[in-house]
Chain A
Amino acid sequence: MIAVIDYDAGNVASVTKAIEKVGYKACLTKDPKIIKASSGVVLPGVGAFGDCIDKLRKYDLIDTILESIESKKPFLGICVGFQLLFEEGFEFGIHKGFGIFKGSCVKFIPSKTYKVPHMGWNTVYYTRQCNLFDGIKNNSYFYFVHSYYTDSDDSCVAKTDYSCTFTSASQKDNVFGVQFHPEKSQTLGLRIYKNFCNMCEEKC
């Protein structure tokens, strides 16, 4: 069973539906026991960096998340859930993240050419091999919605261009993160979930 962490972070229903669609059991939960018993953890995220951290704190999920990461089972952060894995974020103030990936999240500078949020389908190109992208061609399109980004090279596995070059996916050991929304990226997005869930299964 894959635990999808439930902390009022927007449309998480599609994350569990996507996992179910690729043939795995998903449980939307904030219960540390269930998260501990899972074979893999997904940390979704919609909204502001600081707000998300505050909610995780409010539901007492910080330690549970750190324990999951330390337990070496596969862990996947999505969008703001990915950004939270970095050291800090600057959305509405300075906020500390989990610090798994080195670097921080900063805001895109809006212009007529590059509107903010960066919203829509953009291409993702690989900077090193990562099992999350098994069977997916380099330069494939995924769906993005975000105003903040990181360009950290630490643990970076894929990048995307939008006014600058930013990190669109990272991996460090058992911890994966993607800036785009695989649950909104049709067939290729579902393939990401399948690849992730396959890794979780192997760890069972």
Chain B
Amino acid sequence: MLAKRIIPCLDVKEGRVVKGINFVNLKDAGDPVEQAIIYDSQSADELVFLDITASYEKRSIMIDVVSACAQNIFMPLTVGGGIRTIQDIRNLLKAGADKVSINSAAVRNPDFLNEAVKVFGSQCIVVAIDAKKIGNDFYVFIDGGRVNTNKKVIDWLIEVQERGAGEILLTSMDKDGTKEGYDLELTKLVCENSTIPVIASGGAGKMEHIKQVFEIGADAALAASIFHFGEVSIQETKKYLLQNNINVRI
């Protein structure tokens, strides 16, 4: 049986982790490779690096990070943030990333998705959707949540599936950073309208939140701070989920 996935996410800026893991055995809390190794040893199911480097020129640093990671960890690695061109994707995959997550560039130029899928295959093209509720509907935002595209989430979801995306990384802007739990209404809506896997993101503050989001149909749960600050480990979370009849890999 396919297991539900738990995916820790590291925000990386100019090659350094911004929100670091709060573990005593870490030599350098800012080193993404060292943190990736810890998550690997905790049986994380995948790992996401979100590159939040502002300057386009300094983005090549991420390539070195990915490359160093690939030497040490043997689990799926997704890299997102600022990916604009086929060459950007090629560089990351060549360095050792398995998937890339595309957000703003896909909205600005949807044909970019078709091209990326044609060159690299659906399996490595993740579309990141940042969603916010306005009135009764959820809308897609880009540029780190600053720009409302006026596209409804469901319309965009259907379009990216038709264009060949292999997975959705769905972030609730309303819940992100609140630790109040995932946006269950948004996640349920997307899961029910998706034929490709959905990673829920934004709002995880305790193990129960991860249980809730799996119960309403998410295929994977992304979490940052809940694991970074050592409040709970991935193993503890998985044990708790198994006790609650959710199939995870221990």
B93 touches A11 (CB 8 A): yes
Determine whether B76 belongs to the interface, using a CB cutoff of 8 Å to chain A: yes
Distance in angstroms between the alpha carbons of A39 and B99 in the assembled complex: 31
A117 touches B122 (CB 8 A): yes
Determine whether A162 belongs to the interface, using a CB cutoff of 8 Å to chain B: yes
How many A-B residue pairs lie within 8 Å, measured between CB atoms? Answer: 104
B121 touches A120 (CB 8 A): no
A115 touches B219 (CB 8 A): yes
Q: Which residues of chain A have C-beta atoms less than 8 A from B74's C-beta?
A: 14, 17-18, 21, 183-186, 189-190
Distance in angstroms between the alpha carbons of A147 and B3 in the assembled complex: 17
**Contact partner of A120 among B97, B197, B217, CB < 8 A?**
B197
Size class of the A contact interface (CB-based, 8 Å) = 35 or more
The verdict on A46 contacting B1 (CB below 8 Å), with A115-B197, A183-B74 known, is no
Q: Which residues of chain A have C-beta atoms less than 8 A from B95's C-beta?
A: 13
**Contact partner of A121 among B3, B96, B98, CB < 8 A?**
B3
The verdict on A14 contacting B123 (CB below 8 Å), with A122-B1, A122-B3, A184-B75 known, is no
B123 touches A119 (CB 8 A): yes
Annotate B67-82 by CB proximity to A: 1 below 8 A, 0 otherwise: 1001100111000000
A48 touches B121 (CB 8 A): yes
7 A-B contacts, Cβ less than 8 Å apart? A10-B121, A14-B74, A46-B123, A111-B195, A119-B166, A143-B76, A162-B2
Q: 5 tightest CB-CB pairs across the interface, nearest first?
A: A110-B195, A47-B121, A141-B249, A121-B249, A145-B123
Sample of 5 further A-B pairs with CB below 8 A, known A46-B121, A115-B197 = A112-B194, A145-B98, A183-B74, A186-B74, A190-B74
